[in-house]
Structure 1
Amino acid sequence: MEFVNIIGHMDMLEDIAKRIVLSESIHFVNAMSEINENNFPILQAKDEVDAVIDFNYIKQYQSNLDLNEINKVYDELCDMFEIRKKYQKKIVEQDYVFLDDVNKLKRIYEEVNEENRELNRLQEEYRQIGEIENYIKKMKNVNINLDDLFKMKYIDFIMGKVLNYNMEKLKKNYENIPAIVLKLDKNQDYSMIMVFVPKVVEIEVRRVLNSLEFDELQLNFKFSGSPNQWVADIENRKRQIEKEIAIIKNKIKELKKEYINFIEVFYSKLLMQYKIEELKSNMGCTNEFFYMSGWIPSFKKKALSKYLGDYENKLIIIYKDYKNLREGLEPPTCIYNGFLLRPFESVVKLYGIPSYNELDPTAFVGLSYMFLFGAMFGDVGQGLVLLTLGLILEKKKARPNLGGVLARLGISSTVFGFLYGSVFGFEDIIEALLVRPMASIDKVLIWAVGIGVFLLSIGYLYNLINCFIKKDVENGLFSRNGLAGLVFYWLLLYLIVSNVRDAKRIIPSSLITLILVFLLILMLLKEPLANLIKGNKKLYSESKSDYYIEGGFGVLETLLSMLSNTLSFIRVGAFAINHVGLFIAFETLAKMMGNELESILMIVFGNIVIIGLEGLIVFIQGLRLEYYELFSKFFSGTGYEYNPVKL
């Protein structure tokens, strides 16, 4: 990983930023922070003099472009034209001026929005007069000029609807309401009413009606004459509105034909501009120059150079290896794994991101997790079900990482199903290629512990490599997870196993005990020994008494943790046995059923419970073994991920 600083003229900024985004190569950091920390290199070449002088007037870049407002306008246009958004990379690879496109977009929006506003107004009028018509039709047999009702001086009238159960409440309180209530119509849900009320008490009556959830008809459009004349006039107006709506819709359709290509390609440009503005937000600038800082993997320098093209010679680009930068400036970690292991990156990230000087544990986690899950949940049929569910989740992209992990665990479960000879719980369909867990309980539990010893040993080796990379003598040589801890662990296991099996020892017990004590002393003295090797005068970072008290408890914890870490893997064998036992319970219940159909349903139900409930438990137990027993040996997870600006 290298640190890159880029300096160029402001008039090239938009095009340079777009090319950098397309290269997907730079993880940007705030340039002003690096300048303030003196991490921005001093420019010395003659052709860089102007940039050096301008460097004194540098400030944080401030954008004047409101992309959210532009996006809002674009979304409304897409809704009006019913356009589906689709990103096309080839569009942003072409030359264009985004501000010119924004101005054109706004002109289109004004043109279309004017028609759309008129369309909405007509549609609302059509809706309202249609609602008025529904009420007036209920009065068509009444011989009255409605104009006279509007001209009443002391009485007003209100029309609307009320839910039927509230209408019953209204009937019971007629005598308490200073108004005349006429029921115009009634359906299953509500009653349409007309209320005549003296104007002096109109406020009080409205308050009563509102308490009954009264939905008032708004008479925003008025006609003349009798109810029949109103209905006729409304029908004429509706036909007129329908013609006007058809004309406007045709206009909008023509506008869509004219502008659809521009609007469709604008989406890609808008997405690109969001990324460009994200890039700019980390940039420093003056009136003439811009200053960028970020991280780039060495293998991506060619991609950056390719996308910059001729601009590369017009820019000042300075690369520095991270080792030559100020202390404390930690590079991001570039995590990349192949198809098989990539989904397990999410499992690692759930715990933490590996630091730059730390091995990526994804490969180890992926392989060990698949092995542990398969060993605990080995069944051909149930494994294929998990594989299918995982592929569905992965394909639909609802939860691609979970789907990918689940699919791979399903494959492992299927493989172990063949080894155990189990198909949907039945062990009489195929022969076991390795062992039947329920028939070989002792062997399965011993193998489980053996698997734990193997995986823990790999954890120790990972820690040794990490400490070697970091040049950490203390934790690499003398800590309980370092070389001293690994040798202690293997000698202790050798001593225990040889005693249990009463086997002939290559190394005498007394010598092993002596070496174990010596290793414990090394672990106790890890800090002063490491400081002696490094030549530090100060051997202890705290008082000696505090150090040795804490170290004494640390030695005791070392013994206990080695024992508990190893025995934790017994659960692998226990769940393999439990998996068989749980199905036997459902099989027994199935045999107790009254008929064959009920037995089949019980077997199906049992498999669903086993896949759903036990599968989840095994999934969690596998995570626990990874996080608590293995990661604690070597993984700090204190880094941050390499995240270049890209679409």
Structure 2
Amino acid sequence: MIFPENMVKAEIFFQKEKIDDIVTSILKFGKLEPIEANSSIQGRMEEARKELGTVQEHVNKIKIIMDIGKVIIEPKGKLTISGTWIDMAKKVNEKATELEGKYRFLLEEIGRIRSEIEILRAQEKEILPFKEITVDLSSLYSLELFDVLLGTVNETKIDKLRQEIAVVISSKIDQNKYAVMLIDKKGKINKEKIQREYGVRILELPENNSPHEIYVDIEKRISELQDILERSRTKLAKSLQESQNEIKEVYGQLLTIRDALTVMSKAKLSDYYGEIQGYVPEKDIKNLKGLLGDKAFLSYRRPKYGEKEEPPTYIKLPKRMKSIESIIELYGSPSYWEISPMIFLVFTFPFLFGLMFPDFGNALVLLIFAIWFFKYGKKKGSLNTINLSLVLIYSSIAAMITGLLAREFFGPLLVGGPREILNSNAYPVGPLYYVWPVPVSVSNALKYILPFGHYTVLSTEIENAMILSILLGAILLFASSLIGVIDAVKKKDREFIYFEKLPLVILYTVPLIIFGYGITNFSNYFGQVENLLGAILYNLFHSFSPNLSTPTYALAYILLLWVEIGLIYNWGAKTLLAKRHGGVSLGGAVGIGFVEGGFEAGILLLSNTISFIRVLVFALSHYYILYAFSYMGLLVFSYKGLPFAVDAIIGGIIVVLGNLLAIALEGLIVFIQDMRLHFYEMFSKFYEGRGKKFEPVAAYVVLEEGAEKQKLEVPVVLSQ
């Protein structure tokens, strides 16, 4: 989970007539990613390449049919191996063509309706800014005293147009376009000129029809077409339900044949022999040997850093954790030579999300949504949707745990009640106060991590929570920079170690020492850290006469020197790299080194560390948004001017709206900020994300040997 699996480059040599057996063994093996064979053999299976394109077209069409028909996109069934893979490709292509023909009429009808709706939507968008005009354009354009034109113009031309035309009434359509009404004296508006010089697109509509009437007609027609479209989709879905196993089997067969043809298209063949190359996890190479048996000769070698071709990256994960990969791939696939950031995401992503979104009720709603989103993704066959929903499930579960500990359930009203909201023991507690599974004493003990709840929030508790947030950031940043050094060591690149990664470790050791200093007197942890921060601030402003009277002040001065030396080291390293690889003069290299290695590195050291305060900030903002709506709801509830039932309903609506706002807005923002902390603060220290994901060929259906498997000559077209 930390290091990618060791890969080897396998070379499979075989007699040409055995290529189909070899391909079958590779598909059953399921862990070889074929590559273009680097061989002196020049022959290619051009027919395999040709059939591969046809198969891929059928795969795309079948997926569209399944998607429109609301059938779960997944392969099922079996494939009987009979004849060559080229023969099987042709047979399955015929089967797919027949299956597509069965639904062609419905698909064409749906496609036609969709196209018409898209055209109408474009027309609707064009007329939308003028929909309130009830005068037909023929009358509007033929006034006796004035010229009037309606149209659209780019943002860059509208100011010049205002100088040309007496009156320009405008309304912004999108980022770069305005809808305009042009009005001037009769004969003043030169239609051809404003079209040619200002790019105005004049609105042209049928005579005797106003924009309002046409807009209403378009809306009506779109509604009618959507009803027809839904009926057609329902009809297709009903038809597919009856034969969904057949279509899933054809889909699986097509995917399997696609991978078989991929292997064959990358193979090299002579008149008598063939060669297939690909990457295989080193620990599985014996299994491949066993499957090939005496049909082929297998050799392999381990890749080396610096080679032109980099191996694909394969990180073996438990099935339930593979969804985390989807977040990493937003940044880029890890290189074969990098430590995977998975170890961070598996634990830290849900953990930080839970700290920033601590409410059991809100997190429960988010969990329900994530489960629905998972089912939707599974139905659509969208792996990205499935993975993203799983990440959201894990994160919402973590948020439920922190909400449980913080005694928060849709805000403070239901647990803490009026006593917490109004901060007075004269008021009652909430209905869940005494049945909540986590006692008050536990929540009090966690006040430095979650500084809110049923007790009065003090400024010192906020300060202490800030220190803990930054401590968490200091630990993660130091670990990130240390992993960068380990990556460089793994690559055996000394320049990368000493001039890129080692300076970062030196610099990011300082925040770890500062905010870890409190463990020297754990009972007074926060006091120790605050004393060291004060000593650093003092010695920073008294650099020429530092205070070294106590161990704390002496350490503060050492840390300041440490940062200065680290920045100078980084400056020199970046200068050397710029001189060696940047093709600049010594003076230019020194300037670049100062900006990147000195100034920018110092700013990032401070900003990256402080950035983790957002963990506390978003937790507080979430709590106080719900606190504010709970307070307003309580005020309405206690209002005596309306009947009790009306007060209760209005107050309840206010609280519900507040929670919906918190779930939708805060949930999205926290998810984005969680990703930001990982991508920019942590990953930037060690992760490049320039690798290629391991994508082996495989059998998507069960492969069965036919009763009479034919051994046919494989057609080979030699290409120089």
Q: Normalising by the residue count of structure 2, what TM-score does the alignment of the two structures yield?
A: 0.58
String of CA shifts for 1:98-148, please: whole Å, max 9, x gaps: 56667777999999999x9xxx9xxxxxxxxxxxxxxxxxxxxxxxxxxxx
Residue of structure 2 in register with 1:644 after alignment: 696
Cα offset, 1:599, TM superposition:
1.9
User: Residues 498, 540 of structure 1: CA spacing in aligned structure 2 closer, same or farther, 3 A cutoff?
Assistant: farther
Residue number in structure 2 paired with 1:450: 471
Q: Secondary structure at the match of 1:322?
A: coil
Tell me whether 1:485 sits opposite 2:507 in the alignment. yes
AA aligned opposite 2:626: F
After superposition, give the CA deviation of every residue in 1:51-81 in whole Å (9 maximum; x if it has no partner).
Answer: xxxx4554464437646767999999xx9xx
Question: 2:651 is paired with a residue of what secondary structure?
Answer: helix
Q: Structure 1 unaligned runs (5+)?
A: 36-54, 121-210, 212-258, 532-536
Q: Deviations over 1:185-219 (max 9, x none)?
A: xxxxxxxxxxxxxxxxxxxxxxxxxx9xxxxxxxx
User: Residue 92 of structure 1 is aligned with which of 75, 79, 84?
Assistant: 79
Structure 1 residue corresponding to 2:656, chosen from 604, 615, 623: 604
Corresponding residue for residue 562 of structure 1: 605
Distance 1:460 1:72, change over 3 A: closer
Residue 552 (structure 1) aligned with residue 533 (structure 2): no
- Map of 2:678 onto structure 1: 626
What's the offset of the Cα at 1:603?
A: 1.9
Q: 1:424 pairs with 386, 394, 410, which one?
A: 410
Equivalences for residues 584-595 of structure 1 within 5 A: 584-593=627-636, 594-595=646-647
Contact 1:460 1:481 in 2 (8 A): no
Equivalent runs, 1:471-550 vs 2, <5 Å: 471-479=492-500, 482-490=504-512, 498-500=531-533, 504-505=551-552, 507-526=554-573, 542-550=584-592
Question: Which stretch of the first structure deviates more once superposed, 10-19 or 619-628?
Answer: 10-19
Q: 1:468 maps to which residue?
A: 489
Question: What SS does the corresponding residue of 2:9 show, helix, strand or coil?
Answer: strand
| C-alpha spacing 1:475/1:483, structure 2 compared with 1 (3 Å) | farther
1:292 to 276, 282, 289: 276
Give 1:582's aligned residue.
625
| Map of 2:228 onto structure 1 | none
CA shift for structure 1 position 582: 0.2
Residues in 2 aligned to 1:106 and 1:632: alpha-carbon distance in whole angstroms: 47
Structure 2 SS opposite 1:4: strand
Paired residue secondary structure (1:92): strand
1:501–1:482 CA distance, 2 compared to 1 (3 A):
closer
Contact 2:313 2:334 in 1 (8 A): yes
Relative distance call for 1:403 and 1:72 in structure 2 (3 A) is closer
Contact 2:34 2:266 in 1 (8 A): yes
The alignment covers a number of residue pairs equal to: 476
Deviation at 1:562, TM superposition (A): 0.7
Partner of 2:48 in structure 1?
A: 63
Further displaced range: 501-510 or 374-383: 501-510
Determine whether 1:281 maps to 2:259.
no
Between 393-402 and 457-466, report the one with greater CA deviation: 393-402
CA distances 1:238-266 after superposition (whole Å, capped 9, x unpaired): xxxxxxxxxxxxxxxxxxxxx99999966
What is the rounded CA distance, in whole Å, between the counterparts of 1:507 and 1:71 in structure 2? Answer: 69
Q: In structure 2, the residue corresponding to 1:357 is in which secondary structure?
A: coil
Shift of 1:370: 1.1
Distance 1:559 1:260 in 2: 61
Instruction: Give the match for residue 27 of structure 2.
Output: 21
**Aligned-residue offset at 1:564:** 0.5
Q: Deviations over 1:510-530 (max 9, x none)?
A: 444444433333223336889
**Equivalents in 2 of 1:597, 1:376: separation in Å?**
30
Structure 2 CA distance for partners of 1:445 and 1:298, relative to 1, 3 Å: same
Structure possessing the higher relative contact order (Cα contacts under 8 Å, 6 or more residues apart): 2
* Separation (CA, whole Å) in 1 of partners of 2:93 and 2:398: 56
Q: Structure 2 CA distance, aligned partners of 1:451 and 1:384?
A: 26
Q: Paired residue for 2:346? A: 366
Partner residue of 1:193? none
Q: Are the counterparts in 2 of residues 85 and 267 from structure 1 also a CA contact under 8 Å?
A: no
**How many Å apart are 1:498 and its aligned residue?**
4.1
CA distance in 1, matches of 2:100, 2:533: 86
Give me the whole-angstrom Cα distance separating, in 1, the residues matched to 2:244 and 2:564: 80
1:146 corresponds in structure 2 to none
**Is the CA contact 1:377–1:579 (under 8 Å) kept in the aligned structure 2?**
yes
User: Which region of structure 1 is more displaced relative to structure 2, 482-491 or 554-563?
Assistant: 482-491
Give, in whole Å, the separation in 2 of the partners of 1:108 and 1:617: 48
Q: Specify the alignment match of 2:300 in structure 1.
A: 319
What amino acid is aligned across from residue 292 of structure 1 in structure 2? I
- The amino acid across from 1:644 in the alignment is P
Q: 1:98 to 1:515 in 2, by over 3 A?
A: closer
Q: What's the CA shift string for 1:16-48, capped at 9, x where partnerless? A: 1122122111111111xx23xxxxxxxxxxxxx
Question: C-alpha offsets along residues 381-434 of structure 1, whole Å, 9 cap, x if unaligned?
Answer: 112222222223224425211110110011110111122221111241343532
1:106 and 1:522 map into 2 onto residues whose CA distance is 64
Q: What is aligned with 1:305?
A: 289
Conserved 8 A contact 1:13-1:290? yes
How do residues 18-417 of structure 1 correspond to structure 2 at under 5 angstroms?
Answer: 18-31=24-37, 34-35=38-39, 55=40, 57-59=42-44, 61-63=46-48, 66=51, 91-92=78-79, 97=84, 268-308=252-292, 312-323=293-304, 327-396=307-376, 397=378, 398=380, 399-417=385-403
| Contact persistence 1:61–1:284 (CA under 8 A) | no
**Letter aligned with residue 568 of structure 2:** I
TM-score (structure 1 length as normaliser): 0.64
Contact preservation (8 Å) 1:437, 1:580: no
For 1:335, the aligned partner's letter is: I
2:451 corresponding residue in structure 1: 437
Note the aligned Cα RMSD (angstroms): 4.3
> Following the alignment from structure 1 to structure 2, what is the Cα–Cα distance between the partners of residues 110 and 459?
53
Judge conservation of contact 2:76–2:252 (CA < 8 Å) in 1.
yes
Shift of 1:626: 1.0
Q: Which amino acid aligns with 1:382?
A: N
Say if 1:108 and 1:581 are closer, same or farther in 2 by CA, change over 3 A.
closer
Unaligned runs of 5+ in 2: 1-6, 106-206, 208-242, 417-432, 518-527, 536-549, 637-645, 701-720
The letter of the residue matching 2:493 is D
Distance 2:687 2:662 in 1: 33
Q: Is the 8 A contact 2:514 2:533 kept in 1?
A: no
One-letter identity of the residue aligned with 2:451: P
Instruction: Tell me the SS of whatever aligns to 1:294.
Output: strand
Q: Distance in 1 between matches of 2:337 and 2:589?
A: 28
The 1:372–1:481 alpha-carbon spacing in structure 2 relative to 1, beyond 3 Å, is farther
CA distance in 1: counterparts of 2:513 and 2:98, whole angstroms: 83
Structure 1 residues 142-172: Cα deviation after superposition (integer angstroms, max 9, x where no partner): xxxxxxxxxxxxxxxxxxxxxxxxxxxxxxx
Q: Secondary structure at the match of 1:422?
A: coil
| Residue identity matched to 2:505 | L
Whether contact under 8 Å (1:475, 1:482) holds in the other structure is: no
Which whole-Å CA distance do the structure 2 matches of 1:264 and 1:437 have between them?
53
Q: CA-to-partner distance for each residue in 1:527-549, whole Å, 9 max, x for gaps? A: 68899xxxxx9899753322222
On the 8 A contact 1:478/1:485 being kept in 2, the answer is no
d(CA) in 1 for partners of 2:340, 2:56: 39
Structure 1 stretch displaced more, 378-387 or 541-550 = 541-550
Specify the alignment match of 1:149 in structure 2: none
CA contact (8 A) 1:341 1:362 kept: no
Q: Which residue of 1 aligns with 2:538?
A: none
| Distance change >3 Å, CA 550–CA 407, structure 1 → 2 | same
Closer, same or farther: CA 505–107 of 1 in aligned 2, 3 Å: closer
Give, in whole Å, the separation in 2 of the partners of 1:113 and 1:339.
Answer: 34
